[in-house]
Structure 1
Amino acid sequence: MSVDTETSGPGRFTALRTSLSEEFAAQTTRLKQLTTAGDPSEADNRAALLVATRQSLEHISGALRRLAEGTYGICEECDAPIPSERLEALPHARYCVACQQKRHG
């Protein structure tokens, strides 16, 4: 997913919002599929996929919330702008690299 952080104005994050919304819908569909009855021998696999899918939905919804609030791209710890390169690699990033490293040593 590519993030256009260089554009300014009202349409600055339109493509990102669309992309995140599409990914949210895809992950929601995946979650529904994983929660339906499946092969009992695959229960461990399914459980791991459920955890990963729920975490992905949490990350995406957080990014969409920050976009709506106007706080997207601002570190939640130090209030510094998160570099565009980091947002391109990790669109749901909540922290700048320095603060993320402090949080997870």
Structure 2
Amino acid sequence: MSDRTDTHDKQWLTNLELTLNHEFQAQTARLTQLTADTGDPAQAHTNAALIAATRQSLDQISGALRRLTAGGYGSCEKCGTEIPRERLEILPHARFCVPCQQKQNR
């Protein structure tokens, strides 16, 4: 890997970490708002679904941040191959390469 590519990749990872941290803060604030008791029983079911989705998002973001810190970000957790950068740009919390993800979904 050339120095220029290495620098570009480090910059991309730094920007990704900033973006993930910002998204984590935004999702945490959203969860706080959703868990505030509005007293409206009609919204209870909708809020429960939104809370579950927000918690899942926080879990995915936390996992991506942990992998960034530990140095394992971008490697498939199943087979160990490198996850293509294009996939990570679309789905930054991806834990598996496409073939392993497809096997996981079966």
Which is richer in helix? 2
How many residues are matched?
100
Deviation of the 1:7 alpha carbon? 4.7
RMSD of equivalent CA atoms:
1.4
Distance 1:8 1:69 in 2: 18
Worse overlay, 57-66 or 32-41: 32-41
4+ runs deviating over 6 angstroms: none
Matches within 5 A, 1:59-78: 59-78=60-79
Matches within 5 A, 1:20-59: 20-38=20-38, 39-59=40-60
Gaps of 5+ in 1: 1-5
Distance 1:45 1:68 in 2: 35
Identity of aligned residues (%): 57
Gaps of 5+ in 2: none
Distance 1:79 1:95 in 2: 9
Classify the secondary structure of the residue corresponding to 2:6.
coil
Worse overlay, 7-16 or 40-49: 7-16
Distance 2:81 2:24 in 1: 27
Q: Determine which of 6, 9, 20 is the counterpart of 1:8.
A: 6
TM-score by length of 1: 0.90
TM-score by length of 2: 0.89
Deviation of the 1:8 alpha carbon? 2.0
Deviation of the 1:11 alpha carbon? 3.7
Matches within 5 A, 1:80-99: 80-99=81-100
